[in-house]
Amino acid sequence: MPRTQSNNTVGSDKKPSERDVIKACVAGVDAIASAEKASIEGAVSPTTVKEKSEEVRGLIKAGIRTMEDIEALQKATEELLKPIPKKNDFIGRLIVALLLIFYGVAFVVGLAWRLLAPLPPPNATSLASWSQINEALVMMFAGGVGATVYSVRAYLIHACTEKDFQNLYFPWYVFRSLQGVLLAFLFYFVLRGGFILLAVSEAPPTATQESTPAATDVSSEPATELSTSAATEESLPASTERIPLAPQNLNIWMLAASGSLIGLFSKYAIAKLREVFIVTFGGRENLENEDDSQDLE
C-alpha cells in the first residue's frame, strides 16, 4: 500500500510536455477573449466573466509545472466558456425563421383584408365609425409589416452574413414586430388628434385652414384635413345643436405607408412622439434643452 501511494504521487507530479503546456495556455487565453467579447455584447454577466477570467489568468501566471496544473487550467477554462451561448445555433435560427414567416404572412394578409374589405354602413350613434376603426387596423397591420421587414433584415445579417446568431435575442425577434404594431396604433391616435401638426409647426391654424370645407381632398392635403377635423367642431356656436356627422376619412394609402415606415423605423417614430409630447406639454424651449442621450431602440 505505501508503494502504491508513492506511485500515485509520482504520477500526479509528472512534468507535462511543453506542447501540452502551450496548448492549455492558448486555450485559456482564447477562452478569456471569447468571454470578454460576449460580456461586451451583453450575452454574459460582466461580473461572472471577470471572476472566472481572473482565475484562468492566475493559473497561467502561476506557471504549469504538473499535470494537475493543466487539469485545473482546463477545468477553469471550461467553466469560463459555459455561460457563453452557442452562436448560429440551427434550432434557434429555424424557430426565429418560422416566427418571422408567420408574422410576415399574418400582417400582409391582415393589411390586404382591411384595404380590400367593404365597410358596413356607418353608425351615427357610435363614438368611432367603422371607417376610423378600419383606418386604425390598416395602420397597425402596416406597422407590423414594416417591423417584420426590419427583423428579417437583422436575422439575415446575423444568421447568414456574420454567422453570429444567438438564442439570447429570441425576445427581440418576438416583440420587435409587436412593438411596430402597437407603435403604429399609438401614432394613429396622434394623427387623429392633430398632435403631429402641433409638433411640426408652432403657429396655430390660420383662418383659411379653419374655414376649409369638410369635402377637401385629403389625398392631396393631408395636413389641412388634420387641422380642420378639430377646428370644425370647435367653431360651432354653443347654442347650435350637435348633430352626429360621419367623420372625415384619412387617406387610407397614406396611413398604410405611414404605418409601415413607423414599424420599419421605430426608433425615429418614438423620437417623434417624444418631441410631440415635449412641445405640446412643455414648450419648444424644453425640447431644445432636453438630453438626447436616452434613446429607445
Half-sphere exposure of 44 (CA within 13 A, CB side): 25
Q: Where are the beta strands (DSSP E) in the chain?
A: none
**pLDDT in the model for residue 183:** 95
Same domain for 177 and 108: yes
Same domain for 94 and 77: no
Same domain for 239 and 102: yes
Domain count of the fold of the chain: 2
Q: Is 211 helix (H, G, I), strand (E, B) or coil?
A: coil
Q: Which helix (DSSP H) or strand (DSSP E) does residue 142 occupy? A: helix 130-156
pLDDT in tens, 69-89: 888 888 888 888 777 666 677
- Last residue of a domain, which of 54, 81, 108? 81
Would 4 be classed as within a structural domain?
Answer: no
Q: Which helix (DSSP H) or strand (DSSP E) does residue 256 occupy? A: helix 252-264
Half-sphere exposure of 100 (CA within 13 A, CB side): 22
On whether the CB atoms of residues 25 and 62 are closer than 8 A, the answer is no
C-alpha closest to that of 27 among 80, 85, 83: 80
- Last residue of a domain, which of 48, 81, 114? 81
Query: Contacts from 290-295 at CB under 8 Å and sequence distance 24+?
Result: 295/267, 295/271
Give the structural domain span for 54: 14-81
**pLDDT in the model for residue 291:** 54
Same domain for 70 and 173: no
Same domain for 100 and 66: no
Same domain for 136 and 174: yes
Would 7 be classed as within a structural domain?
Answer: no
Cell of 4: 502504491
Rounded-to-integer distance, Cα 93 and Cα 99, Å:
10
**pLDDT in the model for residue 5:** 46
- Last residue of a domain, which of 51, 81, 111? 81
Would 115 be classed as within a structural domain?
Answer: yes
Q: Which helix (DSSP H) or strand (DSSP E) does residue 141 occupy? A: helix 130-156
Would 297 be classed as within a structural domain?
Answer: no
* H-only helix segments in 117-221: 130-156, 170-193, 195-200, 207-210
Same domain for 130 and 73: no
Same domain for 264 and 160: yes
Same domain for 25 and 47: yes
Same domain for 126 and 65: no
Ranges of the chain with pLDDT below 70: 1-13, 41-43, 84-87, 121-128, 196-249, 283-297
Same domain for 77 and 107: no
DSSP state of 235: T
Same domain for 251 and 135: yes
Would 3 be classed as within a structural domain?
Answer: no
Would 71 be classed as within a structural domain?
Answer: yes
**pLDDT in the model for residue 43:** 65
Would 9 be classed as within a structural domain?
Answer: no
**pLDDT in the model for residue 262:** 94
